[in-house]
Every structure is written in C-alpha cells, then in structure tokens.
C-alpha cells in the first residue's frame, strides 16, 4: 500500500462515444473534488457520509478523514482507497473503489461499522457548479414532471453539447434544488442502507458516471 496523494484520472473514451474526456480529480481522502468533461466541470465535492435516523444529524463524513490515515492500492483498472471512518459517535472503515470504464468511471463504497448501528442512510453527495448553469438536467423517474420530483433511476446533466450520465447501484438517486432554501446550489445525492446494521457487515453504495453526446430529449418516464 502507499500513502494517498491527489489523483486525476483522465479516461479516454471509445471511438464514436464522445470527443471529450471524463476526468475525475480525487483528493488524498478519496473525495472527488471535481468531475470534468473536457473543459466543463459537472460535479464537485462528491463524498460519502452517514446520516442519523430521521435526518437528525450527520454521524461521520469522509471529508473529515485525516489524509495520513488513507492507504491506496491499484487492482487492475481500479484504484482502492481504504481509511478509518471515525467521529465521536461512529467508528468504522470505508473502502472506496474507483474503476476506469471505456466511457467513464464506476464508484463503489463499502462502509464497515465497528458496532451495531441504526442510520437513516449512507449518503454520496456532490454539488453542481454554481458559477455557470447546466444547460439541461433530465431526471428519469416514472411519473416525475421535473427534476427533483422523485427518486431517479438515472440523471443526465448536459452543458456545452456534452452529457454526463449518472446511474446509481444499490442506491436511490435524487437531485435537490437548494435555491428554495436561499442556497444557490443543486445537490446530487445517492442514498442507501437505511435501517439497522450489524457490526463489521458492509453497507454498499455505487454510482456510475458515463460520458456521452448530448442526446435527444427523452419522453417522460423513459
């Protein structure tokens, strides 16, 4: 194993998929500082946290991990980050796997609590940049009239004729508009694992990011 350092994964896309490259920039704690397609920033500050029951507070946050405690190893196309995940109210470990794909990257997170615990959710959350608008945000959720109306099967974010596709695995995906709370931001949030969990049993959450051309606008409920 080696100590964690900042990493930028520049992922070349297969011919015919897209001309832009998907480039996640990852800090020493495994936090995804930004996700770019070409020169466009689509997501920032993507990281895992655990939330208390009924969303009554945050138990622990990957962003607070000491970088000196993180170990990194390579496993074929994957980079694996292993770290203690601790606070005054929680002790456990986080294993994060970042796997290169032909057209993107797969993010997988496993949280191992040291003790039996009840949580509202494991949360993977990131921000859409606020310095310029995303051209379109398409939320694929049956019956949803607009982004954020329901949990999504997937999301498509488009800007400058480039599209980022987000698909959750073992998780629900939401787009939250914080402008309603006087906070000029959109939040992407994937949640999983609500309820009671046994000590040392993993809680899994995954999210796949893929690059593509700007598609034709989908039909409602597609």
Q: For 82-129, give the DSSP string.
A: EEEEE-SS-EEEEEEEEEEETTEEEEEEEEEESS-EEESEEEEEEE--
> Candidates 3.50.50.60, 2.70.98.10, 3.40.50.1820, 1.20.1530.20; correct CATH number of 2-213?
2.70.98.10
Which pLDDT value is given to residue 89?
Answer: 94
- Please provide the average confidence, as pLDDT, over all residues in the chain: 79
Of 205 and 141, the one with more pLDDT? 205
In whole angstroms, how large is the CA radius of gyration of the chain?
Answer: 17
Distance, in Å, from the CA atom of 221 to the CA atom of 137, rounded to the nearest integer, reads: 14
Confidence of residue 147 (pLDDT cuts 50, 70, 90): very low
pTM of the entire predicted model: 0.80
Distance, in Å, from the CA atom of 193 to the CA atom of 202, rounded to the nearest integer, reads: 10
Distance, in Å, from the CA atom of 124 to the CA atom of 104, rounded to the nearest integer, reads: 18
Residue 11 has pLDDT above 50, yes or no: no
Which pLDDT value is given to residue 180?
Answer: 63
Confidence of residue 15 (pLDDT cuts 50, 70, 90): very low
List pLDDT tens digits, range 150-174. 455 678 887 777 888 898 888 888 8
Can you give the residue ranges of every domain in the chain? Answer: 2-213
Which pLDDT value is given to residue 9?
Answer: 42
Distance, in Å, from the CA atom of 169 to the CA atom of 212, rounded to the nearest integer, reads: 19
Residue 184 has pLDDT above 70, yes or no: no
């Amino acid at each position: 194993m080696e100590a964690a350092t900042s990493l930028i994964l520049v992922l070349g896309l297969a011919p015919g998929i897209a001309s832009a490259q998907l480039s996640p920039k990852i800090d020493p704690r495994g936090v995804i500082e930004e996700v770019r397609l070409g020169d466009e920033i689509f997501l920032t500050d993507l990281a895992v946290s655990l939330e208390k029951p009924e969303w009554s507070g945050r138990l622990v946050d990957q962003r607070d991990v000491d970088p000196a405690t993180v170990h990194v190893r390579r496993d074929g196309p994957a980079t694996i980050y292993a770290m203690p995940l601790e606070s005054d109210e929680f002790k456990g470990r986080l294993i994060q796997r970042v796997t290169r794909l032909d057209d993107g990257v797969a993010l997988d997170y496993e949280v191992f609590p040291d003790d039996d615990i009840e949580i509202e959710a494991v949360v993977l959350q990131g921000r859409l940049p606020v310095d310029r608008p995303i051209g379109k945000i398409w939320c694929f959720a049956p019956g949803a009239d607009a982004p954020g109306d329901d949990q999504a099967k997937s999301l498509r974010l488009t800007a400058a004729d480039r599209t980022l596709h987000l698909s959750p695995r073992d998780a629900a995906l939401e787009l939250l508009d914080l402008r309603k709370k006087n906070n000029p931001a959109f939040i992407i949030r994937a949640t999983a694992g609500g309820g009671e969990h046994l000590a040392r049993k993993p809680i899994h959450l995954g999210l796949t990011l893929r690059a593509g051309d700007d598609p034709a606008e989908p039909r409602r409920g597609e």
